[in-house]
Amino acid sequence: MEKVSEKIVCNLIGLNMERMYRVQNARQLVPDDKRKKFLLVLEAQSEGFIMELEYVLRMYGGAVADAASKTLYDIDVNSDVNKSEQSVFLFLLQHEQQDIKTYESLLAEGDGLDNNLFEKIRAQKSELQESELKLKEVIGA
């Protein structure tokens, strides 16, 4: 696997691991069952993205362990937001927007990505944008 492509895939795996843990932690703070189910969907989405990206990494001979070690920081929603449900969802929305920007910058950086990988990353970014819209609906923004 080309080093630029491997770096991009590893960064996206790390981003989605962070997102998954962030949503798992947020789910513990949300009492509403309907909203908890929505958070489960986001969690499953990240897990699916990770599985897709790990498959790509393995297919091209990259190391999944390298991707896991690229996680930037440990997510602790409890320390980063006050515990109101609204603030939890605002926190998630803010990070969702940052994640989308990261996808955009990594896509721009990966001009030489093969078409399949580029389309997979673009599709994941599109799904994140849909999740951002749903988060805005939940918040009422």
The predicted structure's pLDDT at residue 126: 97
How would DSSP label each residue in the chain? Answer: --HHHHHHHHHHHHHHHHHHHHHHHHHHH---HHHHHHHHHHHHHHHHHHHHHHHHHHHTT--HHHHHTT------HHHHS-S-HHHHHHHHHHHHHHHHHHHHHHHHHTTT--HHHHHHHHHHHHHHHHHHHHHHHHHT-
Compute the average pLDDT of residues 113-118.
86
Whether residue 116 has pLDDT greater than 60: yes
| Higher per-residue pLDDT: 79 or 37 | 37
Compute the average pLDDT of residues 16-44.
95
pLDDT band at 43 (very low <50, low <70, confident <90, very high): very high
CATH at 104: 1.20.1260.10
Domain range spanning residue 96? 3-139
Q: pLDDT averaged over the chain?
A: 85
Number of domains in the chain: 1
The predicted structure's pLDDT at residue 101: 97
The predicted structure's pLDDT at residue 75: 46
The predicted structure's pLDDT at residue 76: 53
**Residue pLDDT, tens place only, 47-96:** 999 999 999 888 877 666 555 554 444 445 555 555 688 899 999 999 99
Whether residue 112 has pLDDT greater than 50: yes
